[in-house]
Structure 1
């Protein structure tokens, strides 16, 4: 089975959609209502964002973008910089992998990492 999509509530729909488009290369496609953003990744995965008054995720909740190499992690970090987005702490080794963490507007915590082996 292939994961097709995930639907997340956010408190800043436009900010989160813009962040994920500029920082992570998602393309926005037509949504049936204004309170929703449908973002497609280059692999066809759909990240659906829905405007919410509150977005309360469990403490450890996050989404992760696995990269094919350490260089790709650094390139993803640089993409945020090139897009003029706020920069998180630089990539560092954590739990045996190179990673960095950032937060999209609207409450989505994001991990970008490469796990060797």
Structure 2
């Protein structure tokens, strides 16, 4: 059994959607303005975004996008940095990893 769906409450559906499409290759299968979007990955996972007024995830909450190798992690990190996101360089921890605060009020981990 594997998890195939997750819903995130976000402060801005449009910017969160664009972020996930741009940096992580998710594809929007449908949306309702800035109130809802359904995003899909290439493995059939469905990530829905719903607008909320107040978004307060626990400090350690995050979603992860595993990559195949360190080069891919470095490339995403560099692209985010060039586009103005506040990201620290990847480091070796429980994997080769870094975190970024995504538009909409949630954290993303990129790792291999």
> C-alpha displacement at 1:87, in angstroms?
4.6
> C-alpha displacement at 1:51, in angstroms?
0.5
Runs of 4 or more consecutive aligned structure 1 residues displaced over 6 Å after TM superposition: none
Is 1:108 aligned to residue 111 of structure 2? no
Where does residue 77 of structure 1 map in the other structure? 77
> C-alpha displacement at 1:75, in angstroms?
2.7
Where does residue 44 of structure 2 map in the other structure? 44
Separation of aligned partners in 2, 1:78 and 1:39: 24
Where does residue 28 of structure 2 map in the other structure? 28
1:8/1:50 contact within 8 Å kept? yes
Over the residues paired in the alignment, what is the CA RMSD in angstroms?
1.7
Distance 1:16 1:88, change over 3 A: same
Question: Tell me, which stretches of 5 or more residues in structure 2 are unaligned?
Answer: none
Where does residue 90 of structure 1 map in the other structure? 89
Q: How many matched pairs?
A: 111
- Residues 50-101 of structure 1 deviation map (CA, whole Å, 9 limit, x = unaligned): 000011111110011122221221233244357x352511212224x21111
Question: Tell me, which stretches of 5 or more residues in structure 1 are unaligned?
Answer: none
SS at match of 1:110: strand
Is 1:7 aligned to residue 7 of structure 2? yes
Structure 1 length as normaliser, TM-score? 0.84
SS at match of 2:97: strand
Structure 2 length as normaliser, TM-score? 0.87
1:19/1:85 contact within 8 Å kept? no
